[in-house]
């Protein structure tokens, strides 16, 4: 990258998201579950962070732990912009609330998506190639 316009392209690319293939939590093999996740420099993630900060600031003191966890899951779910998820062989329609349910129910999915969303590496490969 040699000019600021390249960084504008990076942000736009990160907003489109990259495929996060969920791996089995026991043996690490890839599953057929794929979430499309906006990158750390995307406007999508920026808006999600700001909304979480606003929600946390609405508390007079420290919010309860369960509320902090709910807000963190919702922030991460806002970064999921699409998916390929099946349940019982049937496609699960993508929605924010479905993403929240998935991230709440399966901690290992949440952990993998959180790590993926924080990394620039999955997004930099396509921009520089």
pLDDT in tens, 54-99: 998 888 788 899 999 999 999 999 999 999 999 999 999 999 999 9
pLDDT tens track for 11-43: 888 999 999 999 999 999 999 999 999 999 999
**Distance of alpha carbon 3 from alpha carbon 29, whole angstroms:** 39
Q: What is the span of the domain harbouring residue 58?
A: 4-128
63 CB-near residues (< 8 Å, 6+ apart): 56, 71
The torsion defined by the Cα of 28, 34, 39 and 43, in degrees rounded to 10, comes to: -150
Of the pLDDT bands very low, low, confident and very high (cuts 50, 70, 90), residue 1 is low
Q: What is the mean pLDDT of residues 98-108?
A: 98
- Backbone dihedral region for residue 42 (phi beyond 0: left; psi -120 to 50: alpha; all else: beta): beta
Q: pTM to 2 decimals?
A: 0.88
pLDDT higher than 90, residue 110:
yes
The pLDDT of residue 22 is: 98
Angle between helix 43-57 and helix 65-77 axes, rounded to 10 deg: 160
Task: Indicate the number of domains in the chain.
Answer: 1
């Amino acid at each position: 990258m040699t000019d600021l316009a390249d960084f504008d392209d990076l942000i736009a690319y990160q907003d489109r998201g990259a495929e996060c293939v969920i791996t089995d939590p026991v043996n690490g093999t890839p599953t057929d579950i794929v979430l499309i996740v906006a990158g750390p420099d995307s406007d999508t993630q920026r808006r999600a962070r700001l909304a979480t900060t606003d929600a946390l600031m609405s508390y007079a003191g420290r919010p309860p732990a369960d509320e902090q966890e709910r807000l963190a899951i919702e922030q991460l779910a806002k970064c999921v912009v699409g998916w390929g998820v099946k349940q019982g062989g049937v496609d699960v329609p993508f929605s924010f609330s479905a993403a929240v349910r998935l991230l709440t129910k399966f901690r290992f999915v949440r952990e993998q998506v959180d790590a993926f969303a924080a990394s620039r590496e999955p997004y930099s490969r396509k921009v520089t190639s």
